Amino acid sequence: RELTGEVEFENVDFGYNPDKIVLHDINMYAKPGQKIAFVGSTGAGKTTITNLINRFYDIQDGKIRYDNINIGKIKKPDLRRSLGIVLQDTHLFTGTVMDNIRYGKLDATDEECIKAAKLANAHDFIKRLPDGYNTVLTGDGANLSQGQRQLLAIARAAVADPPALILDEATSSIDTRTEAMVSKGMDALMAGRTSFVIAHRLSTVKDADCIMVMEQGRIIERGTHDQLIDMKGRYYQLYTG
């Protein structure tokens, strides 16, 4: 059965070590196609939540459901693969640009990879590389800029065409023009998919269907940007200085 991208957490507790719980009683519901943003200070648990959406770890208590299938306790690698991930540190390998994109879906044709690169807004820079899509990347893509690596990561996720996505926005310094390119690619990728975004840019947060404000392993506030600003709580503090 195809997944729709519906994701639900019910009373989820989690610790990397069972004796040290780092996420407490997490409840959330994402309708197919919604964009959920996580904000909060360092160590609040944002990455940990996305690790659980990916089912990289077993949870201690509660339920995680994709389309009503509880995947919280049992390992279902087939389900795990159906989610797309764009991480801060994109793991590129020694091989061509084309093969690095194809890694998102191993049986993808060249045409599918190029289509994904176009959607990701990566096609233009790839065309300008010495050998275009056949350019060989050094291990970990050291011969690309950080922004270019992000665009490739977006293309790789796009070729997989997953119902749900996890995006960890880069914090580090990419220039404004590159950031705009990455942002455009991400928006195209997110359209029509459930997206969980660890957001650092206010522009990304602002149009989220729901923003989860995290602190010390708990969701302490949630709502749209306007609702949270009206609440005059932690989020308001974060975004008004």
Residues that bind ligand DGT (CB under 6 A): 16-17, 22, 40, 42-48
Do the beta carbons of residue 31 and residue 45 sit within 8 Å? no
**Interaction partner, residue 223 (Mg ion, ligand DGT, none; CB < 5-8 Å by kind):** none
Binding of residue 135 to Mg ion (CB under 5 A)? no
Q: How many CB atoms lie within 10 A of CB 41?
A: 12
Q: What is the nearest approach in angstroms of Mg ion to the Cβ of residue 46?
A: 5
- Distance between CA atoms of residues 69 and 66, nearest Å: 5
Residues 43-82 that bind Mg ion (CB under 5 A): 47
- Looking at the Cβ atoms of 16 and 29, the one nearer to ligand DGT is 16
- Looking at the Cβ atoms of 58 and 124, the one nearer to ligand DGT is 58
- Looking at the Cβ atoms of 3 and 87, the one nearer to Mg ion is 87
- Looking at the Cβ atoms of 72 and 104, the one nearer to ligand DGT is 72
Contacts of 132 (CB under 8 A, 6+ apart): 97, 126
x/- string (CB under 5 A) for Mg ion, residues 1-40? ----------------------------------------
Contacts of 59 (CB under 8 A, 6+ apart): 12, 13, 14, 52, 72, 73
Do the beta carbons of residue 206 and residue 238 sit within 8 Å? no
Tell me how many degrees the CA angle 220-35-82 measures, rounded to the nearest 5. 110
Q: What is the nearest approach in angstroms of Mg ion to the Cβ of residue 47?
A: 3
- Provide the binding-site residues for Mg ion, judged by CB under 5 A: 47
